[in-house]
Structure 1
């Protein structure tokens, strides 16, 4: 493993930092990119992840998705690429792209080209999102019985609780995932492309705040009575029928399994539970009666829909964390960081 080089884009992000840590602990040599090598908090976070003997196996590179050619040095010499970096909101200073989708797709295609040109990259593993996998019917009226890898989000519908940023993110992740999967088998080395559409991630974080770990803030929004985060939770429910959730440790282990398989391509959904916002609120009320959840943060829609994805399990993956463990871990983490009061 020490001789196997892998690259993680967006290495100081919520998911990226945990994946970098997991890869280093397993003995891999890691190239991690971040937008600004002059940011001591981000650099310190990554350098602090590894014991002294592993420092030689971590190299940091500065690269911005708005200037995607910068990723090429980090990709050179690597066998596997994990592409996690993505713009959450469009930066209007960058006039070469008109919106988030253009920036995300253009950056991704530049990274694909760098993988093909490298002469070393065998597989590109793209961190996708379940926002691209809506099980809504083509008519837009109701949902299919289950959600699985065959589901793709229609981009001509509007959804309640949506705002411009959420819809822009949904469009960018949907179009990016479709585009990257088209490049499977390209180049002399016949690049293998895997996309992992992750549910709402929670359970724990290496970052210093819940707000920096955005998805976990959304997951506990009913506990914190955070209206903005709760509207994001409800948007996901309106988009996806219910909310697929997954523990950050399971997400990273799924990525590593999709790297370590001798040969693998295609799309995989990654979620161990599929809960309505009302079911999440019920968990908080049942297990933490001292937490007061306002009535406006609870709405039972009574939807009957299941998670039908089995592809990860079919290749040997086993989830370690169920829905209860993910919710409990998220709350415990928020309490550890001082952002939610401890039990009373």
Structure 2
């Protein structure tokens, strides 16, 4: 700019800055914000918090301000252009930033794809402009006599999901990085021992999820969708000669436990279930309804209250620990009737410890032999590390206790669990699986987190999970741990399926 001031012939200086000088603001919570030329990134906050990319954003803000001061002091006509992510071909044979970012969904470049994800997390969108339009805009503000100040240059706001769908449709020969699972969560052990999944497609898993989502308040009730009722699979009753067996299910007001209680009763079991407060009518209303199916006893128990599970376990053939592990060494002699304990853990206890690359990890199989590295997780603290560690420690502690007390223990590790259940309140998996339709950002973050964790979005229908738990309880030869997974998909594949099957909903698109 000093050279421009010396030249005297320069009528206008065009400074190419970046949209980073606009987007880094702490007040952008929720949806509907519009970033324009009046927006300025918060330098003090960036310096204090040092989030990813903070140095670049600060440098652009300081650059603009320094240039403006110099221009004012030296009588220079200065106009600043702030382009967003810039795409398109140019004469340059080497590029380092935006072009590799934009092509990372096809190239599989892990580092560049991380930048693209970072931009979406930062802006709530992927703002794009073609390099030709940037050049035309720069010449326009140079030649327009009235041009002044700062100009944001952006022609399209999209998302990674929308971009991935577009690339998959337009360039199918290139494949789609996000369309294919990088890993497979395997349920071969269960199937090899004779278990058959009834829901192995997205269509089957979602056939009653929409109405369930409406009932739970996750989806709006005023959106019309075809009511598809789940196929009915009859559960064989236990023969009268064998007598009625009794099962204990802990945490009966939970999502999975409520479905398991229902299925056991449909099979002719007498069921005891535990809750913290049997008098809580709101949380336990579904259990009162299930009592119409047969014998269901609702008992008070709390993990913090030693011995509170004794009554629930006494006289039971099987104990299903869905809420958490409990001390089954009851002082009552009837507790010796428990033939098998089935512990519901999580597939978080079979994930790899370290993040997997976007390329080169396809074909990896996660199964019962896979365990996370607890020391690595505790040291490096990646996302969801605490949950993974807790599930590993839970399983190992339960195994030690079972060996010490002669308990026949089998562990089931379900993946993301979907489908309708009697419970009227659910947390995590159902809102996450419906988040592409509901627009719930926090729930969508859980879904994306599952994909980052597993290299896929592994799913199982809650009915299949309950059938699997009963299967391993009743099968005498069952032992060890069992991964329970009906299919492996991705966020993009799921978005494509939902957009096609439920066009009346808008699959999530974030636009700032």
Q: Offset of 1:51 from its aligned partner? A: 2.6
**In the alignment, which of 258, 262, 269 is matched to residue 476 of structure 2?**
262
Map of 1:38 onto structure 2: 279
2:239 is the counterpart of 1:14: no
Q: Offset of 1:234 from its aligned partner? A: 1.4
* Local SS of the residue matching 1:111: coil
Q: Offset of 1:272 from its aligned partner? A: 0.5
Map of 1:51 onto structure 2: 292
- Partners of 2:332 and 2:465 in 1: how far apart? 26
Of stretches 117-126 and 227-236 in structure 1, the one that deviates more from structure 2 is: 117-126
**In the alignment, which of 147, 150, 162 is matched to residue 369 of structure 2?**
150
Aligned Cα root-mean-square deviation (Å): 2.5
Q: What does the per-residue CA deviation read over 1:149-207, in whole Å, with 9 as the maximum and x for residues that have no partner?
A: 111123333576x3xxx4433322221012223345543xx321111000111121222
Give the total of aligned pairs: 262
Map of 1:94 onto structure 2: none
2:414 is the counterpart of 1:195: no
Q: Offset of 1:112 from its aligned partner? A: 3.9
Map of 2:337 onto structure 1: 120
Of stretches 259-268 and 166-175 in structure 1, the one that deviates more from structure 2 is: 166-175
- Confirm or deny: 8 A CA contact 1:133 1:148 kept in the other structure: yes
* Alignment map for 1:276-315 (pairs within 5 Å): 276-296=490-510
Q: Offset of 1:3 from its aligned partner? A: 3.1
Q: Offset of 1:218 from its aligned partner? A: 0.8
Q: Offset of 1:15 from its aligned partner? A: 0.7
Q: Against the structure 1 CA distance between its residues 181 and 243, is the aligned structure 2 distance closer, same or farther, given a 3 Å change threshold? A: farther
- Confirm or deny: 8 A CA contact 2:310 2:332 kept in the other structure: no
Map of 2:311 onto structure 1: 73
TM-score (ref. length: structure 2)? 0.48
Instruction: Give the structure with higher Rg (CA).
Output: 2
Q: Against the structure 1 CA distance between its residues 223 and 68, is the aligned structure 2 distance closer, same or farther, given a 3 Å change threshold? A: farther
Q: What does the per-residue CA deviation read over 1:209-238, in whole Å, with 9 as the maximum and x for residues that have no partner?
A: 5xx253111111111111111111111111
- Confirm or deny: 8 A CA contact 2:251 2:322 kept in the other structure: yes
Q: Against the structure 1 CA distance between its residues 242 and 296, is the aligned structure 2 distance closer, same or farther, given a 3 Å change threshold? A: farther
* Alignment map for 1:159-198 (pairs within 5 Å): 162=383, 166-187=384-405, 190-198=406-414
* Local SS of the residue matching 2:422: coil
- Confirm or deny: 8 A CA contact 1:122 1:192 kept in the other structure: yes
Q: What are the ranges of 5 or more consecutive residues in structure 1 without an aligned counterpart?
A: 87-107, 298-344
* Alignment map for 1:76-115 (pairs within 5 Å): 76-86=314-324, 108=325, 110-114=326-330
- Confirm or deny: 8 A CA contact 1:75 1:115 kept in the other structure: no
- Partners of 2:470 and 2:343 in 1: how far apart? 12
